[in-house]
């Protein structure tokens, strides 16, 4: 893909990922954060964390299924935006829900399973964000780095479970998110199976008679 097109695509991702935050800031400035602003801001940031995380996990299956190379260039950027949104989501919980009351926060993490799952989701994204630089890719080597970054799927699973657990009766979007993740994981598993079979066939055909 030409350099210009890649830059344009990245600019588009930046704009798309910053739009929900700008919309929240706008609603704050116009005093339009609903009757329950803390819940509204927490939920909006949580929704966008999961959407952007799923978008980043869609990039490799897109390459596998459609044979496109450009999605891979966006994977890391989308992953970093998912981390950015989860940090904001977490900060609202720390500052507005608990105002740095660490013992009560710990109690909440241990007591409420959906908070435990959210915390684990955040923790599994942390090493990915820390090692997202070119320096870390070099230091770890491409193979180890790629393996480590499969943790993004774990974060996706934990994020979906967190949402499934907390969603109130009558909602359906939590199931759509989980189904999307299952589909993406399915593509990866089938692809890994096909590659394994191909490798075995190649190895069998090179064994001397």
Residues that bind ligand HEM (CB under 6 A): 39, 42-43, 46-47, 49-50, 53, 86, 89-90, 93, 115, 118-119, 121-122, 125, 155, 159, 162-163, 166
Q: Which is nearer to ligand HEM, 96 or 183 (CB)?
A: 96
Cβ at position 134, least distance to ligand HEM in Å: 25
Nearest approach in angstroms of CB 80 to ligand HEM is 13
Smallest separation, CB 180 to ligand HEM (Å): 12
The distance of closest approach from Cβ of residue 178 to ligand HEM in the complex, given in angstroms and rounded to an integer, is 11
Contact (Cβ atoms closer than 8 angstroms) between residue 64 and residue 191? yes
CA proximity to 163, closest of 67, 65, 50 = 50
- Whole-number minimum distance, CB 162 to ligand HEM, in Å? 5
- CA–CA separation, 51 and 28 (whole Å): 22
* C-alpha to C-alpha distance for 13 and 105, rounded to whole angstroms: 34
24 vs 142, which CB is nearer to ligand HEM?
24
Pick 78 or 115: Cβ nearer ligand HEM:
115
**Collapsing DSSP states into helix, strand and coil, what is residue 207?**
coil
d(CA 8, CA 73): 12
Q: Rounded to an integer, what distance in angstroms lies between the CA atom of residue 146 and that of residue 179?
A: 24
Q: Cβ neighbours of residue 75 under 8 Å, at least 6 residues apart? A: 56, 59, 60
Q: Which CB, 23 or 70, lies closer to ligand HEM?
A: 23
Q: Which residue's CB is nearer to ligand HEM, number 9 or number 166?
A: 166
């Amino acid at each position: 893909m030409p350099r210009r097109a890649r830059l344009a695509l990245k600019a588009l991702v930046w704009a798309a990922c910053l739009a929900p935050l700008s919309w929240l800031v706008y609603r704050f400035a116009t005093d339009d954060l609903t009757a329950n602003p803390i819940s509204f801001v927490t939920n909006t940031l949580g929704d966008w964390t999961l959407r952007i995380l799923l978008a980043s996990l869609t990039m490799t299956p897109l390459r596998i299924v459609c044979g496109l190379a450009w999605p891979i260039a966006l994977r890391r950027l989308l992953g970093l935006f998912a981390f950015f949104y989860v940090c904001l989501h977490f900060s609202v919980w720390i500052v507005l829900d608990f105002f740095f009351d660490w013992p009560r926060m710990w109690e909440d993490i241990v007591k409420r399973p959906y908070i435990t799952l959210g915390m684990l989701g955040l923790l599994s994204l942390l090493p990915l964000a820390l090692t997202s630089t070119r320096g870390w890719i070099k230091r770890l080597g491409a193979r180890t780095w790629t393996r480590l970054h499969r943790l993004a799927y774990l974060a996706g699973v934990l994020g979906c479970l967190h949402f499934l657990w907390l969603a109130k009766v009558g909602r359906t979007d939590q199931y759509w998110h989980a189904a999307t993740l299952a589909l993406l994981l399915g593509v990866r598993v089938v692809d890994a199976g096909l590659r394994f079979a191909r490798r075995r066939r190649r190895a069998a055909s090179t064994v001397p008679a």
